[in-house]
């Protein structure tokens, strides 16, 4: 695998310049609750439970459904109310929650996490990240049911972008930057990352994370802000750039290559091919 740091630096500069010219709410506006203050405990707790349910759910569909349920039953997103409800009539609470989530293990996680938020963090999910180190912040969030590194990183990214928490940890660059498949596709498309033949996705993913983490550290760019900016760009522009360059493309020339895989969810084999309009 080859990592072109010069191309990487140019990509980061272009993406972050575009990001800095916009209100962060434009990126994550679909996550915001109508009539609720962005930096409020209510907004933070809503995002906490949405993030918990995100694995194996379409994010846009999940958020729309969660907002609809919140408009009718905002109490299920409030740890105090949840703990009181399950102690009073657990079956009634679960019946209400099933409008949003049917998986038994996630229902149990919702109850357990509500209790933990109430007992340890005063029912305020923002306090999970009120720590002196990034490591402690990630240890805190991954101690919750159904929160692994990836889901915890996603939630933290939302909080940082929306100003719900401050990201002043000195050790944030000691850990690999968040990086999902969509952003990987951007790095390959802009030829920051290149490789020959067909390779296993997981080892490639780990090597790219290491290289890209070092680059962001060198440039002094917050990895979470970059990831949110890049993810928004990829999902809003790149995914529609199939047979011709998208009119809102940030780059002078369209991507000539793309990352192709049969099933990224399973972390299978991947390869690089020429884009259709370059063949």
pLDDT reading at 267 higher than 80: no
Q: For the chain, what is the radius of gyration of the CA atoms? A: 20
pLDDT per residue as tens digits for the range 153-167: 889 989 998 899 988
Give the dihedral of Cα atoms 113, 114, 118, 123; nearest 10 deg: 110
Does the pLDDT at position 230 exceed 80?
A: yes
- Confirm if 36 and 42 have CB atoms less than 8 A apart: yes
Dihedral angle of Cα 166, 172, 175, 179, to the nearest 10 degrees? 50
Residue of 18 and 57 predicted with greater confidence: 18
Phi/psi for 200 (5° steps) reads -75, 135
234-255 pLDDT, tens digit each: 888 887 887 778 899 999 889 9
pLDDT, mean of residues 211-217: 94
Residues composing the chain: 279
Taken in order of first residue, the domains within the chain and their CATH numbers are 2-23+173-278 (1.10.1670), 33-161 (1.10.340)
**Alpha-carbon span 204 to 4, nearest angstrom:** 15
Please provide the average confidence, as pLDDT, over all residues in the chain.
91
Q: Cβ distance 3 to 187 under 8 Å?
A: no
Which one is predicted more confidently, 60 or 207?
A: 207
Distance (Å, rounded) from C-alpha 220 to C-alpha 125?
27
């Amino acid at each position: 695998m080859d990592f072109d740091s010069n191309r990487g630096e140019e990509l980061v500069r272009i993406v972050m310049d575009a990001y800095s010219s916009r209100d962060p709410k434009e990126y994550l506006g679909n996550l915001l609750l109508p009539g609720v203050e962005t930096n409020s405990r209510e907004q933070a707790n809503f995002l906490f439970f949405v993030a918990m349910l995100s694995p194996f759910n379409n994010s846009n569909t999940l958020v729309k459904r969660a907002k609809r349920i919140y408009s009718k039953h905002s109490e299920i997103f409030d740890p105090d109310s949840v703990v009181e409800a399950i102690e009073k009539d657990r079956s009634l609470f679960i019946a209400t929650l099933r409008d949003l989530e049917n998986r038994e293990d996630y229902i149990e996680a919702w109850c357990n996490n509500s209790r933990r938020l109430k007992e340890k963090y005063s029912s305020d999910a923002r306090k999970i990240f009120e720590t002196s180190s990034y490591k402690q912040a990630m240890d805190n969030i991954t101690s919750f049911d159904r929160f692994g590194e990836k889901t915890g990183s996603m939630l933290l990214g939302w909080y940082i972008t929306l100003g719900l928490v401050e990201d002043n940890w000195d050790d944030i660059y000691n850990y690999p930057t968040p990086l999902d498949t969509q952003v990987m596709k951007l790095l390959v498309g802009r030829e920051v990352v290149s490789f020959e033949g067909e390779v296993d996705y997981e080892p490639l993913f780990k090597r790219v994370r290491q290289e890209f983490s070092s680059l962001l550290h060198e440039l002094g760019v917050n990895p979470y802000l970059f990831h949110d900016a890049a993810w928004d760009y990829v999902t809003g522009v790149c995914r529609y750039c199939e047979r011709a360059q998208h009119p809102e493309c940030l780059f002078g020339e369209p991507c000539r290559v793309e990352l192709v895989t049969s099933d990224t969810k399973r972390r299978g084999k991947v390869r690089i091919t020429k884009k259709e309009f370059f063949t």
